[in-house]
Amino acid sequence: MKKAELIPVIHMTSLEQVFKNVETCIKCGIKKVFLINHVVTAFEVLDAARKVKSKYPDLWVGINLLGLSTSAAMALSESVDGLWVDGTISIHDIREFKGLLFGGLAFKYQKQPKDLQQACLDATFTTDVATTSGPGTGKAASVEKIKDIRYYLGSHPMAIASGISAENADDYSEIAEYFLVASSITDSNEMLIEEKLVELKAKLT
């Protein structure tokens, strides 16, 4: 299996901050980015994503619109390449988004599945990329959990969205297809640290 693709996650604080981070990503050869809102509204993130896509049409741009329901996020996201939702996606939502859909599976701060095998089977029908995490922001998932999910998903694409760093990337890099990374490559002002980004990317090439 080839190594995971790195997708930096930009926690938007302003439009200027987003563009500076996007420029760092492009400089470092990154092909995909996610934008997410913590201190701004979902609509500001959506507007920023559209502006980034307009300026950099070859860059794959995804969004995670915190605070909106899955159906509302899907309805608003036609102009972007990818949508990530933390929660479990309903079977009724799977046809509503035409881009690459990342959906939560045993994800942090969400209700955890009682039957992981069944949850993985469901995710193969409701997501393009089943997206899991460790127990909290910046906390790595156990390798055993990731291997179990990989086994249950079979060949269905998988992303890990917390706790990945240059120090532990080798433990997961040939299990998942994508790493969604913020904490280990971002400073306290939500700016990407170029050296950390380059170091992690080098682990995956």
Domains defined along the chain, listed by start: 5-203 (3.20.20.70)
**Given CA atoms 159, 164, 166, 167 in this order, what sign does their dihedral have?**
negative
Segment 69-94, tens digit of pLDDT: 888 888 888 889 999 987 777 776 66
- Identify the weakest region by mean pLDDT among 37-41, 139-143, 161-165: 139-143
Segment 12-53, tens digit of pLDDT: 999 999 999 999 999 999 999 999 998 999 999 999 999 999
First-last CA distance in the chain: 13
Partners of 103 in the β-ladder: 85, 130
Size of the chain in residues: 205
